[in-house]
Amino acid sequence: MRMYDIILKKRNGGELSEGEIQFVVNGVTADNFPNEQIAALLMAIYFKGMTKAETLALTLAMAHSGETADLSGIPGIKVDKHSTGGVGDKTTLIVTPIVAACGVPVAKMSGRGLGHTGGTVDKLASIPGFSTELSQEEFIRIVNETGLCVAGQSGNLAPADKKLYALRDITGTVENISLIASSIMSKKLAAGADRIVLDVKYGSGAFMGTSAEAVALAEAMVDIGEGAGKGTVALITDMNRPLGCAIGNSLEIAESVEILTPSSVPPSGKEDLYEICMVLSAHMLNQAGKGTLEECRTLAENAIASGMALQKLQAMVTAQGGDSSILSNSILTGSVENGKNGLPKFSRAKHQHLLISPSSGYIQSMDTQKWGIAAMMLGAGRERIEDEIDYSAGIILHKKPGTPVKEGESIAEFHTNQTSRLAEASAIALEGITITTVPPEKSSPLIYAQVDKYGTHYH
């Protein structure tokens, strides 16, 4: 078998066999092929596509190209949750303790952020002492003791995908549904869960720009999960606005605590975050056999109301070496004017700056990516993988799409320890907001569709 022949076969529109795909992945992992040949095959796949069988074979081969997590030492059905990334997306911090509080073990591996999207591992790293680098034994022990553990991904998880992605990134072959889906799902399968719930985002702050693209990706990933014997469901959710009001690591931890704190109503301005977390929690519990979606949503709501969900988050933080006392009394309230910024125990950024509205009217729309870039410029994210993150930096939104605003009123509050890029960040954020004199038309649904083994269901 030769790589040359496989390239020609795919270039001419042929379907690669499972053996041929395994040969390619083995060779990529072992560095047996020159980059030119791998790039040529990726370009052939980009133009000719892959069948469902090819995509599943590629995913399984990459999932087993390195370490795989063995979660058999954890009793019960293990359900994983994955988001394709967004701005202000702290759902993992809220959903996983809710699910654990309902008796479903959560053993989750998460990644770091890059560019305008944040990473769960970075958010948790803002908690003093918290460790995301755990051995397999520590990971299993913490799940068995607390019901919940969120750790960084192993460096040897799906190494073939890592090499293929690096080449896709520099050869213009990233935007192929089969390659995207297999990249994401290879890591999910290697992580060892029994069931998978996917949050596939679309819009200005997401990897997939349109709802149609997000549906296509979700369908491909659900096909892979089901083909691999893992019950899989995907929700298509809107990322044309930041999720919640906090963007930035410690700020998002504080907002997560606010959502998890027992209350009769969701915190004002954060109803979107609360709703998505309830729906994701319900689907995870449903996948674990805890009842119908309606029954599982009630379980999730009760986990917050009883205080059990917040206790689970505190227990996980303690078990992973973090200071769980930081999760109490760290609610985001008020603004600079009244001196109530919350975060009394987190390190607070030296500078707070109000972004002032240039006119009166209604917030028609937000370019979420620009707001994510603005937060990155303040120090809350990475432009390059080696960049250091300022955990105290970020943005607290005072206004969101659909709300009225007056000229001179605060749209948002910027937190930073460096002022050198504050003006640039402010300009980009203002470019990313549209103010009109008339109220906006009805916004797109927060949850656009659901994809499962039975098909695609539009909301």
169 is catalytic: no
Asked if residue 201 and residue 86 are part of one domain, the reply reads yes
Q: What is the pLDDT of residue 332?
A: 43
The answer to whether the CB of 97 falls within 8 A of the CB of 309 is yes
**Would residue 330 count as lying in a domain?**
no
**Would residue 335 count as lying in a domain?**
no
The tens-digit pLDDT sequence of the chain (459 residues) is: 999 999 999 999 999 999 999 999 999 999 999 999 999 999 999 999 999 999 999 999 999 999 999 999 999 999 999 999 889 999 999 999 999 999 999 999 987 766 667 789 999 999 999 999 999 999 999 999 999 999 988 768 899 999 999 899 899 998 899 999 999 999 999 999 999 999 999 999 888 999 999 999 999 999 999 999 999 999 999 999 999 999 999 999 999 999 999 987 888 889 999 999 999 999 999 999 999 999 999 999 999 999 999 999 999 999 999 999 888 754 443 333 333 444 446 778 999 999 999 999 999 999 999 999 999 999 998 877 777 899 999 999 999 999 999 999 999 999 999 999 999 999 999 999 999 999 888 778 999 999 999 999 998
**Would residue 331 count as lying in a domain?**
no
**Would residue 394 count as lying in a domain?**
yes
pLDDT digits (tens, 9 = 90+) for 39-69: 999 999 999 999 999 999 999 999 999 999 9
**Would residue 442 count as lying in a domain?**
no
Q: What is the pLDDT of residue 344?
A: 45
In this structure, what CATH number is given to the domain that contains residue 237? Answer: 3.40.1030.10
pLDDT digits (tens, 9 = 90+) for 268-287: 889 999 999 999 999 999 99
Interatomic CA distance for residues 109 and 329, integer angstroms: 28
Token pair for 53: 């069988």
Interatomic CA distance for residues 147 and 104, integer angstroms: 7
Annotated active-site residue in 81, 82, 163, 399: 82
Asked if residue 268 and residue 204 are part of one domain, the reply reads yes
Asked which of 34, 63, 92 is the last residue of a domain, the reply is: 63
Asked if residue 237 and residue 92 are part of one domain, the reply reads yes
Annotated active-site residue in 161, 238, 272, 367: 161
β pairing state of 231-238 and 447-452: antiparallel
Asked if residue 238 and residue 120 are part of one domain, the reply reads yes
Burial pattern 285-301, b for ≥16 Cβ within 10 A else e, equals bbbbebeeeeebbebbb
168 is catalytic: yes
Asked if residue 98 and residue 33 are part of one domain, the reply reads no
Annotated active-site residue in 154, 183, 250, 330: 183
241 is catalytic: no
What is the model's pTM? Answer: 0.92
Asked if residue 229 and residue 366 are part of one domain, the reply reads no
**Would residue 235 count as lying in a domain?**
yes
**Would residue 214 count as lying in a domain?**
yes
- The total of structural domains in the chain comes to 3
Asked if residue 221 and residue 112 are part of one domain, the reply reads yes
Asked if residue 241 and residue 168 are part of one domain, the reply reads yes
Query: What residues make up the domain containing 360?
Result: 347-436
Asked if residue 219 and residue 307 are part of one domain, the reply reads yes
DSSP 109: E
82 is catalytic: yes
Asked if residue 164 and residue 254 are part of one domain, the reply reads yes
Asked if residue 137 and residue 58 are part of one domain, the reply reads no
Asked if residue 260 and residue 391 are part of one domain, the reply reads no
Annotated active-site residue in 78, 81, 90, 187: 187
Interatomic CA distance for residues 279 and 277, integer angstroms: 5
230 is catalytic: no
The answer to whether the CB of 355 falls within 8 A of the CB of 370 is no
Residue-by-residue DSSP string for 339-364:
T----SSSPPPSEEEEEEPSS-EEEE
Annotated active-site residue in 116, 168, 382, 400: 168
In this structure, what CATH number is given to the domain that contains residue 12? Answer: 1.20.970.10
**Would residue 16 count as lying in a domain?**
yes
Residue-by-residue DSSP string for 182-215:
HHHHHHHHHTT-SEEEEEEEESTTSSB-SHHHHH
